[in-house]
Chains A and B, each alone.
Chain A
Amino acid sequence: MKPKRLHNEQWPVPRSREVGLFTDLTLYAEALALAQEYGAVTVSLLQRDLGQRMQKMRLVLRQSERTVERLMRELRYFDWLKPRSGSAEKLTIAPHMITPEGQQAFTLSRKDARAFRRLLTVKMQQVYVIPGWFIARLWQINPEGQGEVILPDPLDDWQPSSRDWNDTTWNETLHTQTLVAAQQARKASLNAFPIRDEDWLSAVQRAWNRLSNLKPRSQRKRGPASYSPRTRLALAMREASVGLLFDRIPYEADEPDFPGNRPPIYPRTFMGWCPRLEALEMIFYTDWHPQVAGRLLFPTSVFRPTAPEERFEPLEEIRHPNGNSFWLHQPKWNIMRISFLSTLISVHQQQAMRSGALYVSLLDVRDEVCRQLRLSSLCFDRFLEQVVRELPISDFPWSVAIETDIREEQSGGAGQLRRPVYLRGVPHTLIALAHLPQDSEVKEGSVL
């Protein structure tokens, strides 16, 4: 039986729920730089002058007006920009100046990207409350599995043909696919989807019916519209799982996490928060794990009273309502070296056996290594750079090769939005590890 929580353990009401859905955190620093340079910035000026950038593997030439508006709004919430005195308050047209606090943040972004990330984490917590609450909720959903959660998707081998838009029947196949997806999630990780089948079925069916009542986007065009049952079921499953797992009242609990009736997170904002929290090194998530149909996510941080500092980094400004401190799992290389190398090698071997090739997807390897070691993707990048520098070495006589080839699944569609592994700023996608014969030349000793 789950312990009953007290009302005073509730999280505060967020100052704002209007979170931008952009996920590139460098936009904050670049907007501050422009405000510093020009003295004041407007939405249109930012839209014009924010540089083109790679969003994962997709080139974004220009930010949309909506994105820049949201960015500006957040910078105001963070007290890093303020409207120029005497100018109109309206966000979209008012010139905004950088504040002294914004100048400090900008200076920090130039000097220390990691410290700037931490500052952003604190600011987001102060404004939205979601970051800390989200970590606490993950741990609450699956405490035995260290917060590991799976949001199921239909299995890959279910590829139905399209249906007429008006054919919205909830049939036996959809029923079966919904159940099988949940079973697969539980099979992959025992408590990662702790929802009863009847609740899951009814929530997915409700979401399916809601989506089925929407008008087709292409209604303006002539001819009958159609839809992909797989895509619609996947959307319904995502809506249902977010609703069940991340509602203001935890699943099968009585007490809400927040005062009021509004849900803390919607399916749409959930999709924005995951990459943000991942970039802030609070969670790791992947939609591509070969053994999971759906989104696998887990925290790379924890609320606890104390933690060893060689493995954890505290963020004192974030606290659980029960008083526990917030700790990011940021182990030092000398602590993690052996377990990182051995996990990397074993995961590579498993992937190589499955695919029958020595070169395997570095992204798949990264996802599983991070899962086993509860590392953020930035930590993985950092540690892999160490591995490339060190191997082969006497206690690990393995050679490593990292390649930058763009794999087919990354060249288009959703695959472009999968975060690559960066080594010295260059995206890498393939890895091979080979055991060297005993008499091969290896570097002496280990670099600690």
Chain B
Amino acid sequence: MTSSNPLLRRSQPLPVVENPYTRFGLTQNPFPDSPTIVPGSDDPRRNGEIYCADLREIEEAQFERLLIPRVEQPEPRPIALLMDYATRRGRGIGKTAFINHQRERIMKDLGGELTGGAYVLLAAHLIPESGGRTRKFWQFTRLVAYALNEGRCIAWAIWRLRAGQIPREVLAQVDPQNPEPTLGDDHWLEQQGVNIMFDLNPSVERTLIHAGVRPEIARSLAHHGHAADAWGHQFLSHQTDYRWRREGDHLVFNDLVRLFQAADINKTLLLVDEVEKIVVPQNRQERRIFVDDLRRFFVDGPFQSVYARFYGLLLTIHPYIQELWTPHWKAAGLDRVCAISGGTALEYTIYFRPLDVEEEVAVPLVLAYLDYFRPSPDQHGQLQPFHQESVVEALRLSGGVPGPMLTLLRLVLERAVREGWDTINANQVRAIYESAVPTEPPDEEEWEPLPPTQVDLSEEG
């Protein structure tokens, strides 16, 4: 009875079957089934964990040159652009993976390696909401606040403040690479004898107020900022749209900057993905206002973020967005801060182009995925079951865009399992490409003939 009762039936453990990918020396199909990077996902194929940095060395060097402060370059650009030059070939060129990778590079040691230890940096990955829900600047400000919280930037600042105020022997137990389970856990700290309620939190609060953070915000940050979920629940989710419109800029461009400065953090990079979701739904006036506000809050307005040149902004655009923004950008005078078009744009832009269709590019990218799912390190570096020319062919068929190439290889590997292929050659990849992307049939509804007329103006009578 229990097995058929929908109120009581439990899912059954999956029967042990032979893994079809074992014969290729793989634990599963290593290529992603999703067209996008989902940074919070557990799946390494989707969360950007598998990343082949060598393919984007030029772009990475330009990213560092434009946005990362160093001793020899203490004042990087306040605004830079990441230009997708492959939109015609579809999505999947790897912008999101690139941004995610840069964020992780910075956050793993707070920019220690990148800046030669000279600066403390944070970075947040911002993905605007679609449907015009990020077209106003106050909505963008809210997005920044949420991204700083969910990206653990605020938590890192609080952890650093807490680290300075707890006993040395307690600090010695904290994993500096991942302080969340310790410094981010009030219960753990209390177990170590730290008085959270009457000692640590009030002390952090006083430090923040002293740094110029408004008392209400300082209190909230001191009590909940160490845990992103808690601050999101206790503070951010209670802010109404009205409050974001009136005070959101004060929070993001004054209070949070003072928090970061109190934690001795020198700069925070805001890596904004998919700017088209902001710009396309905007009307002409909204575009002008938004660009004016970018200038005000990042370049020359009366805000702590501007005084300290605290935020670095990377905007991911493509040529259509460039076209929409150019007149407003120039009217706002932002061209002198970050040229969006013209010859000097090279000095502010990371150009993201399709990959070169060659063996030196295709093979390392495919190996990055295959190696991750090899059960034994001895098998690393082997392309099996792919022939070398098959992966180059996949890249060629995908127009040098890695996303579609990986999707194609996933389909190829699925077919290889289904049809019992031992190896995969270029012809097989081509055959699947042609069958996998059939021409879209014409929409029957649109192609219907118009109904006949009911009246004939030329008939007699």
Contacts and interface: CB of A to CB of B under 8 A. Distances in A.
Contacts of B449: 187-190
Given A187-B447, A291-B446, A302-B458, A226 B453 contact: no
A361 interface: no
A299 B319 CA distance: 43
A16 to B, nearest CB: 30
A364 to B, nearest CB: 13
Interface residues of A, number: 37
B323 A292 contact: no
Contacts of B450: 188-189, 291-292, 371
A162 B323 contact: yes
Contacts, number: 76
Contacts of B445: 354
B457 A329 contact: yes
A221 to B, nearest CB: 7
Contacts of B457: 146, 299-302, 327, 329, 374
B88 A224 contact: no
B218 to A, nearest CB: 44
B341 interface: yes
A184 B87 CA distance: 27
A373 interface: yes
B283 A412 contact: yes
B421 interface: no
A223 B341 contact: yes
B interface: dominant SS: loop
Contact of B451 (A187, A339, A372, A412): A372
A161 B447 contact: no
B342 interface: yes
Interface in A225-265: 226
A343 interface: yes
Nearest to A413: B283
Given A223-B326, A292-B450, A146 B461 contact: no
A148 B449 CA distance: 13
B185 to A, nearest CB: 48
A86 interface: no
A406 to B, nearest CB: 14
Contacts of B453: 146, 148, 371-374
A414 to B, nearest CB: 14
A143 B459 CA distance: 12
A223 B342 contact: yes
A110 interface: no
Contacts of B283: 412
A308 interface: yes
A121 to B, nearest CB: 17
B455 A372 contact: yes
Interface string A207-231: 0000000000000011110100000
B94 to A, nearest CB: 18
Interface string B388-407: 00000000000000000000
Interface string B426-452: 000000000000000000011111111
A356 interface: no
A354 B88 CA distance: 31
B216 interface: no
Contacts of A301: 457
A445 interface: no
A412 B450 CA distance: 28
B318 interface: yes
A190 B445 CA distance: 16
B235 interface: no
Contacts of B456: 146
B455 A161 contact: no
B461 A161 contact: no
Which 3 residue pairs are nearest across A and B when measured between Cβ atoms?
A223-B342, A223-B341, A302-B457
15 contacts: A139-B458, A146-B453, A161-B318, A161-B320, A184-B446, A188-B449, A189-B449, A221-B330, A223-B326, A223-B343, A290-B446, A291-B446, A291-B448, A368-B451, A372-B455
Given A329-B457, A339-B454, 13 more contacts: A146-B458, A161-B87, A184-B446, A188-B449, A223-B326, A224-B342, A291-B448, A299-B457, A327-B457, A339-B455, A371-B453, A372-B451, A374-B453
